[in-house]
């Protein structure tokens, strides 16, 4: 089991789930990442960006991007819904920042529409 730390974006996404689901996701992230680092799960894609290696974990309808910090800890950068523009941009290595990912969230656009009224 790895020690997991989370970015603001990933914590925000985790908070949307029940406590039970959060614990399940943390366990699955740790398990999948551990298998990837030991070479057991060769189907887990990884890519390099800005000197970091990101691993793209698929859990249900989520895409989770983690980085191995050391032999015992992981940093979860992003938790994104599958088939979204944010997920595509990040895995395609297009420049994207956290503000752009927030803009893709449906609540952001609902908020913008509410300002027009």
The CATH number given to whatever domain includes residue 95 is 3.30.2310.20
Torsion over CA: 22, 27, 31, 34 (sign): positive
What pLDDT shows up at residue 84? Answer: 76
Give the chain's domain count. Answer: 1
Q: Rounded to an integer, what distance in angstroms lies between the CA atom of residue 67 and that of residue 75?
A: 5
Q: For residue 22, what pLDDT is reported?
A: 92
Tell me the mean pLDDT in the region 76-89: 80
User: Angle at Cα 88 formed by Cα 34 and Cα 2, nearest 5°?
Assistant: 15
Tokens encoding 105: 């969230």
Among the listed residues 55, 91, 59, 98, the one whose alpha carbon sits nearest the alpha carbon of residue 76? 55
CA angle 9, 69, 57 (to 5 degrees): 55
| pLDDT: which is higher, 21 or 102 | 21
Predicted local confidence at residue 20, as pLDDT: 94
Q: Could you please report the per-residue DSSP string of 14-48? A: HTTS-HHHHHHHHHHHHHHHHHHHTTS-TTS-EEE
Strand partners of residue 46 = 55
Residue 40 clears pLDDT 60, i.e. is over it: no
Provide the domain limits for residue 14: 3-116
pLDDT tens digits, one per residue of 19-38: 999 999 988 888 887 776 77
């Amino acid at each position: 089991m790895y020690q997991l730390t989370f970015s603001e974006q990933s914590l925000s996404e985790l908070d949307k789930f029940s406590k039970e689901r959060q614990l399940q996701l943390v366990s699955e992230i740790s398990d999948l990442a551990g298998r990837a680092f030991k070479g057991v799960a060769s189907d887990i894609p990884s890519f390099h960006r800005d000197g970091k290696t990101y691993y793209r974990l698929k859990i249900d309808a989520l895409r989770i991007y983690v980085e191995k910090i050391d032999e015992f800890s992981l940093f979860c950068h992003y938790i994104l819904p599958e088939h979204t523009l944010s997920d595509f941009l990040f895995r395609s290595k297009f420049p994207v920042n956290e503000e752009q990912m927030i803009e893709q969230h449906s609540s952001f656009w609902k908020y913008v529409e509410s300002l027009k009224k």
